[in-house]
Amino acid sequence: MKELLTKLDIQDINSGCYSGRWHECDGDKILESTSPIDGKLIAKVKVPSKEDYEEVVGAAMETFLSWRSVPAPKRGLLVRDIGDELRAKKELLGRLITVEMGKILPEGLGEVQEAIDIADFAVGLSRQLYGKTMHSEREGHRMYEQWHPLGPIGVITAFNFPVAVWSWNAMIAAVCGDTVIWKPSEITPITSIALCKICSRVAKAYGFPGLFSLVIDSGDAAFGKAIASDKRIPLVSATGSCRMGRAVAESVAARLGRSLLELGGNNAIIVTKNADLDLCVRAVLFGAVGTAGQRCTTTRRILIEKPVADSFLERLKGAYSQITIGNPLDDGVLMGPLVHHRAVECYKEAIERIKKEGGEIAYGGEALQDMPSGCYVMPTIVKAKPGMEILNEETFAPILYIIEVDSLDDAIKIHNNVPQGLSSAIFTENLKEAERFLSCEGSDCGIANVNIGTSGAEIGGAFGGEKDTGGGRESGSDSWKQYMRRQTCTINYSDSLPLAQGIKFE
């Protein structure tokens, strides 16, 4: 542990604030980060003050004034070098993610790879920030639109992807000419400090030390609230729970700012009688158990046609019985701990509610008391009934509900009848069923897949969902437009001054 932290420039006690320089943070608040693997202390963080926050915003605004004038392809060179630094530090940073968050090492390494991939994507994007030209209705006139940098961007992230989600936002924002103010989760502060140090060293070498800022609070959401209500920050990108997203959206909307929200998921897979069940079981296993059920894209519901329900459940239980639970740094372990004791309590409460609402525990359903740290639980399969209230909620734990349906129409109706709308999938070998699921009458989610699971989205596609999931889009496709301001321009190169719509004013 000590060697890992030293190589990532992590001290026993670290500053929780960066604005082009690391602040002293002289207040009396100290945040301790412990590993869910064994409960041991990783390191401590000094929590910034309101004065520190003001300096962060001031530095981000000042840096923006010069960064916005750098040609976008040259901004891309900085991001390219960040990608290279992340490649060099992939093993170290991936291991730190696992130690602090608890996901298995292959997932920790995969998360850093996501950051590398989005850096590569952003480098190409820096030469593709295209506007459109339009034909004017007025003779001797030309119309076009262009995109300008927006300003300092506030990024609020959750604990489960402490590297990837910031990178989705920051790499795109940087090539768009914006500066970035990051408020990470207080549950994974050491990873955020390590990442900030890697990226800020590159930015400093280019002469822009204030490009990426960091401000960590003690869990009271003080700086998240400050960012949401700060008129100097034109866009706030927030990833987390629906409850948090509503609070952020209300604060940002009150000042007529922009918010980009990626919130909770209640993701389902529809399994028809025409599905390849072996393929489906493999997808469900990762979707439901990966990251110990702590992904916003985790598979939480299976809507399966009755003729294949029993066979599928038996295969799935067999697969679950082979899952090795333990230290996520060890080879062969497929599921590590939940992130903290509060998550375990939520898991236990959900199990009790399931029983009261008439659900049947088909596999698991217990916390593992003899494991280190007390944060380990059994992945759980529940035979559920439509109408159970808990099916409308997202429990951030490895609990999977199996719901039998009579038809595809029945499945789609149940699928869409939840508040969330992030990720979805169907398993079928029938082309008509697949196309129906992807049509306007099918899935109402932002992500819809055929014969792959709900989890593990690629960075090339815009990521996000509908309804209570927030409606925002991060990462690929044209999501870059949210980090810029659009400007429509009209040029008159004639000697007359005609008005639009044929209006005469003479």
Q: What residues act catalytically?
A: 262, 296
Rounded Cα–Cα distance for residues 91 and 220 (Å): 32
**Amino acid making up residue 215:** V
Angle at 468 between CA 281 and CA 413, to 5 degrees: 55
Rounded Cα–Cα distance for residues 475 and 459 (Å): 6
**Amino acid making up residue 416:** N
Rounded Cα–Cα distance for residues 63 and 66 (Å): 6
- Are the C-beta atoms of 284 and 299 separated by less than 8 Å? yes
Outline where DSSP puts E strands in 315-416.
360-363, 380-383, 399-405
149 SS3 class: strand
Tokens of 265: 């998921």
Rounded Cα–Cα distance for residues 135 and 141 (Å): 8
Residues paired with residue 474 on neighbouring β-strands, in sequence order: 463
Outline where DSSP puts E strands in 6-163.
13-15, 17-18, 30-34, 41-46, 133-134, 141-149, 153-156
Left (φ > 0), alpha (ψ -120 to 50) or beta: where does 500 sit?
beta
Rounded Cα–Cα distance for residues 487 and 146 (Å): 5
The residue count of the chain comes to 506
- Are the C-beta atoms of 177 and 75 separated by less than 8 Å? yes
Among residues 198, 229, 289, which one has the least CA distance to residue 10? 198
- Are the C-beta atoms of 299 and 455 separated by less than 8 Å? yes
Non-local (6+) Cβ contacts of 492 within 8 A are 138, 140, 141
| Residue 150: Cβ within 10 Å count | 22
CA of 363: how far to CAs of 298, 314, 386, in Å?
18, 10, 19
450 SS3 class: strand
Proportion of the chain in helix, strand, coil states, percent, rounded to 5: 40, 20, 40
Q: What are phi and psi of 436, to 5 degrees?
A: -65, -45
Outline where DSSP puts E strands in 290-433.
299-305, 360-363, 380-383, 399-405, 420-421, 423-427
DSSP code for 293: G
